[in-house]
Amino acid sequence: MSYRKINIWTRLDWTTLIIYFVLIIAGWFSIYAATYDLENKSMVDLSGRAGMQMIWILTSLAIGFSLLMIESNWYEIFASWIYLIIIILLVITIFVAPDIKGSRSWLVMGPVRLQPAEFAKFATALMIAKVMSVYKFDIMNFRNMTLMLGLIGLPIVLILLQKETGSALVFMAFFFVLYREGMPGGILFAGFAAVLFFVLAIRFDTMWGLTPVGHFLVLSIIVLCIFGLLYSSRKRNENVKFLLYACLGVIALAGIVSLFVPFNLVWVALGFIMVASGYLFFLFFKYRTTAYLWIVVFAVLSVGFLYSIDYVFDRVLEPHQKIRIEVALGIVDDPSGAGYNVNQSKIAIGSGGFFGKGYLNGTQTKLKYVPEQDTDFIFCTIGEERGFIGTITVLILFAVLILHLILMAERQHSAFNRIYGYAVACILFFHFLVNIGMVIGIMPVIGIPLPFFSYGGSSLWAFTILLFIFLRLDASRSDRL
């Protein structure tokens, strides 16, 4: 522990700070553009969204400054308390929050409205950093794993109860952190595969001749994965080659046959997986390498998962829940709903071209074709008015920020700092991934804000706190030890 007076300003990571400033200022201008109208002239007019965002920016800077002034080890000391307080706030919110646009996540105190879910991110990050930084912490220990899942799962459940599905999903970002700290990569891979299979199976429920497209896609991916995994853990190269040729031959044959005699191609893929599994068993007994067995487990579980999706979706879920998932995945289009919005947002971005239409000259976003244009869909405004130049600049700024944060996390001497740093990077990355992916039509519509850009006091404050705590930790990384 050190109490020596340090000059925080010389040790601060200015790269991060400058990117932060650029992003919030660009966000402010974008919000002004998104809500711009002839009658509404001033950017600092407090009755407009841009004026309010200015207030949020100024208060955020004050918050950020205060956080830098706090002794760095306090964050670790008080992590559990912060987490506890936020959890209590989340519980209270469920009961007292008024219904605003279908979600019960706003805590209204006089003129101030806060969304505790936003603040739960940094609180949880501090908490898991504290728990995991214990000496000799091993994530693969069953007790530890359960504890971690509990700490991450608790806010997720509470936020889901507030009907803020998007914010709850953000906590998935912590699995990247767990991966960095020793969770097997297979879990990350399995999670990714599960999401992918679910989306594909539900999204493509059309028929292609006698073949259900979604199933066929998923099964094909499983086959590809088997090859990939086999290739990476192979003992003999020629085994894989033989299987690959056989597979390609069979598929070509099946394709030709199905042109004349239509049949369900799923059977071909299933048959192939069975043959491959049998072959892998053979390899397992031959070479006694468990990797082969794991590939079989993956294949069997994947196929089982695929067929249980259908069962759950058709039998277990209520019709309105089904509709909600279908809308979120863009299967069901309604004019005021998901499909239309994404289409409009793609048109707005696409119409920007290379250079954009010029600041405040956008028509698509202002015509109110794009919904939530100053919050979740703010990226549209940049795309339309600043063009490809603007969008890649924002993309690169985020990429640099996230990668820089990862490198910063790696240079920390204490496990607490490192884990917290990774959590910051991963949360920002998750927001970036989902928000921009949604706006450009790659991800399903999940309403979460674009960090530093989207209008809103709670989210800007929360991201500022998240980032500045790490800046403070980083500034005194060499003090201890």
Tell me: does residue 180 bind another protein (CB under 8 A): yes
Check binding of 367 to another protein (CB under 8 A).
yes
Backbone conformation region of residue 102, classed left if phi is above 0, alpha if psi is from -120 to 50, else beta? left
| Number of Cβ atoms within 10 Å of the Cβ of 135 | 5
CB closer to another protein, 159 vs 177:
177
**Cα 78 from Cα 76, distance rounded (Å):** 6
Distances in whole angstroms, Cα of residue 373 to Cα of each of 36, 350, 384, 448? 11, 15, 12, 13
Give how many residues touch another protein by CB under 8 A. 57
Shorter beta-carbon distance to another protein: residue 326 or 333:
333
Residue selected from 209, 249, 353, 358 as contacting another protein according to rule CB under 8 A: 353
CA nearest 111: which of 480, 457, 478, 460?
Answer: 457
Give least dist CB 466 to another protein, A.
17
3-state secondary structure of 247: helix
Which residue type does 289 have?
A: T
- Part of the chain binding another protein (CB under 8 A), chosen from 216-224, 281-289, 309-317, 387-395: 387-395
Quote the CA–CA distance of 1 and 479 in Å, as a whole number: 8
* 363 contacts another protein (rule: CB under 8 A): yes
Q: Which is nearer to another protein, 270 or 401 (CB)?
A: 401
Residue 3 contacts another protein per CB under 8 A: no
Question: Hunting for tokens 């208060």 — which residue is that?
Answer: 59
DSSP label at residue 235 = S
With H, G, I as helix, E, B as strand and everything else as coil, classify residue 376. coil
Minimum CB separation from another protein for residue 433, in Å?
6
The answer to whether residues 365 and 36 touch, using CB atoms and an 8 Å cutoff, is: no
From 197-205, 280-288, 366-374, 451-459, give the range in contact with another protein by CB under 8 A: 366-374
Site string for another protein, 138-177 (x = CB under 8 A): --------------------------------------x-
> Judged by CB under 8 A, does residue 410 bind another protein?
yes
Give the residue with the Cβ less far from another protein, 351 or 454: 351
**84/210 Cα distance (integer angstroms):** 55
- Binding mask of the shown chain, residues 271 to 310, with x at each position contacting another protein by CB under 8 A: ----------------------------------------
Contacting residue, 65, 77, 182, 289, with another protein by CB under 8 A: 182
186 binds another protein (CB under 8 A): no
Q: Please list every residue from 388 through 407 that binds another protein, using CB under 8 A.
A: 388, 391-392, 395-396, 398-399, 402-403, 406
φ/ψ of 315, rounded to 5, equals -105, -40
What x/- string results for residues 25 through 44 when contact with another protein is judged by CB under 8 A? ------------xxx-----
Stretch that binds another protein, among 54-62, 114-122, 253-261, 380-388 (CB under 8 A): 380-388
- Give φ, ψ of 31 to 5 degrees: -65, -40
Residue 27 vs 387, nearer CB to another protein: 387
DSSP 207: E
360 CB contacts (<8 Å, ≥6 apart)?
32, 33, 36, 385
Q: Interface with another protein includes 371 (CB under 8 A)?
A: no
Compute CA distances 295 → 190, 194, 230, 272, 456, whole Å: 12, 15, 7, 14, 46
**Cβ-based neighbours of 383, under 8 Å, separated by 6 or more:** 348, 349, 350, 352, 356, 390, 391, 439
Unique residue bearing structure tokens 């097997």: 184
DSSP string, 46-80: TTSHHHHHHHHHHHHHHHHHHHHHS-THHHHHHHH
- One residue of 369, 393, 446, 479 binding another protein per CB under 8 A: 369
Task: Say if residues 424 and 20 touch (Cβ distance below 8 Å).
Answer: no
Q: Is 51 in the site for another protein (CB under 8 A)?
A: no
Return the range that interacts with another protein (CB under 8 A); candidates 81-89, 141-149, 433-441, 454-462.
Answer: 433-441
Is 352 a binder of another protein (CB under 8 A)?
yes
Residue pair 274/257 in contact (Cβ under 8 Å)? The answer is: no
> Around Cβ 106, how many Cβ atoms within 10 Å?
21
Q: Does 334 bind another protein (CB under 8 A)?
A: yes
Q: Nearest distance from residue 300's CB to another protein, in Å?
A: 26
The single residue among 53, 60, 72, 364 that binds another protein, judged by CB under 8 A, is 364
Q: Which residues bind another protein (CB under 8 A)?
A: 37-39, 47, 135-136, 176, 179-180, 182, 185, 333-336, 339-340, 346-354, 363-364, 366-369, 383-384, 387-388, 391-392, 395-396, 398-399, 402-403, 406, 410, 415, 422, 426, 429, 432-433, 436-437, 440-442
